[in-house]
Structures are given as structure tokens and as C-alpha cells.
Amino acid sequence: MNSIFLCLLCNSMLLVTAKNVPLEVFTPTDTAGEFQVKTDFIEGKLRADGLSNGFAPLQYISPETNLTSMMGLLNYYRVFTTNHRFGASMRALPSEATLEAADTLRVYWPAAEDRPFTLTGVYHWVAPDTVDLETIVEAKELLPDFEIFLSSYLSPNFPVSSVYVKAADHKKGYMTAEEEGGVWQAFPRDEEAVKIIKDGRWNIGPSPVDWAVRPELAAPIIYRRNEDTGLTIAMMARREDCFAVFTPHRAETHHSMYFSLFGKTLTEGSKAHARIRMIIAVMDDAALLKRYEEFLNSTTNTSVSK
């Protein structure tokens, strides 16, 4: 009996230890600030050429599928406060990349005279098909209705976005972004989110956008799916972290998905955290909702930030 108990105890300890062993995902390349990405399902780069353009190039291994175009997946784009935009893009600004573990990469942007906040993004692979991005902002002055606009650009293999919304009959379901809904479509969390979207921040150049307001979110979930293979790139967030999800319609060639993070006023010296998850897998709508529940459960009292 004692030997059986000891065996079970050893097996349990091995399982706990295995969960704490980082996945072997990130490998520095010979280019400063660039990292090779490799899992059982996915391979490519993060910060190609040392630039903050997210995951690009990125391939799904089987079925072999190109996942990205333009700037890639999960890159920080615009930053706003009320009727104000901080520069053109975070992508062009210098940042520091630190490999904290084989599955965890930290990227940091310091504050500047025209940018009164620090920004940290922590990319953490939690499974071979799943990466979390935690965003941490520290305000150096009052930042009214602060927003980080996070962008992802997919290949033409993923032609249309679907967003999890509240229907007119109060039911919840996925809505595809069709042409009749407008070129650039915004799915807000609530009426307060609409006020932020329409406060003038999107009228500022370069590249202003006139967002067509669509139904409210049931939850911040958006995906694009390859219609032949079922391969799906899904992104999700906690409701409190994301006040709107955006996408162009089916025929628009950006093939993009965007999250607006925070949407709240930050006082000087305060910190704000937001976490989103990206899953790249063959899955249907029901499986995606199950993965979202798993995500919500995993984010309770957990953090990869310091």
C-alpha cells in the first residue's frame, strides 16, 4: 500500500513539474531583437528584423497555411486619449525585447516627452496553439479615456471576420462582417464605448477611420477561419479589458482584426493591465466558446507580469 501511495505521489509531482516547465518556443536569431517561433503546430518569427510588427511571417505547419500579411499578428498600433493620438504608431518606436523564458518574451517602450506612459507587452505561450499577450501601462500623467489599439493582419486565406455579439432578440451568436455593414466596423462593449470611439480620436491623421457602429459585444471574441480547412485564428479578451472589437468587411484586403484595450482614465502613477489570448487551431464555433471559458478561468488571479 505504501509503495502504491509513493508511486501516485511521484506521478502527481511529475505532472505539477511538467506544467511549470516552459514550452520551447522562442529562440533568438542573429538579428538583434528578432526571435524564431516554433511549436508543434506553428513556426515563424516575432519581431522580424528587430521591429515591433508582431508575429510575421507565421505559418501553420499542417495543413501548411500562411497566416499573416502586412504587419503580422498582435502588434501595438495606435494609442489615444480623449480626442488625442500619440504619434502615428507604436510600431516605428524603439523598444527593448527580453527573453524571460523559452515561452515568454517581454517588450518594453519607455516614456518620452510626447508619450507620457510606459508600455510593456509580455508574449507568453500557454500551449503549442495558444499565446497570451499581457499589456501593462504605467501613466506618467493623467490619461483620460486611455486606449491601446492592438492590431493583427491575416493572409487572404482568412477572408472574413466573425464577432460574438448580442442579437436583437437578446440571444448571443457570431456575426460575420459583411459589406452591407460598412467598410470599417466597430463592435462596442456598451454605449460608453461608443462615446469613446466617436470622441474625435479617429478623425486625427494619418489614416483617419470612420467606424460604422455595429451590434454590442456579447464577449470580446473575434475570429477568421479558413473556409476549406476549418483552421481558425481567434482572439479573445476579458470584458473589463477590451471596450471594442473592430474589423473591415469581407472584401476589404487588410484581412485585419483589432482590439481596443482599457478605455478608462488612468491617473498619474497608476498601472493598468489587460490580457488577450490568440488561438490558432482547427475548431468550430462551439469549440471556440469552450476555449473562451477556459481562458476566463485561467486568468483569475494570474499574471505573467512583474
pLDDT, one tens digit per residue, over 161-186 is 999 999 888 799 999 999 999 999 99
As a whole-number percent, the residues of the chain with pLDDT over 70 amount to 92
- Please report the pLDDT score of residue 168 as a whole number: 81
Q: Domain residues of the chain, as ranges?
A: 28-298
Residues comprising the chain, all counted: 306
| Residue 120 confidence (pLDDT) above 60 | yes
Residue 18 has pLDDT above 90, yes or no: no
Q: What is the pLDDT of residue 70?
A: 78
**pLDDT at position 19:** 55
Distance of alpha carbon 93 from alpha carbon 87, whole angstroms: 10
The amino acid that residue 178 corresponds to is: E
Average pLDDT estimate for 44-48:
98
* Burial class of residue 233, CB neighbours in 10 A (0-12, 13-18, 19+): buried
Q: What is the CATH number of domain 28-298?
A: 2.70.98.90
Strands 117-127 and 217-225: unpaired
Q: At residue 156, does pLDDT exceed 50? A: yes
Q: How far is CA 84 from each of CA 60, 69, 93, 188, 200, rounded to the nearest angstrom?
A: 38, 29, 18, 19, 8
What's the confidence (pLDDT) of residue 53?
A: 96
CA distances for 221 relative to 121, 212, 305, angstroms: 20, 18, 23
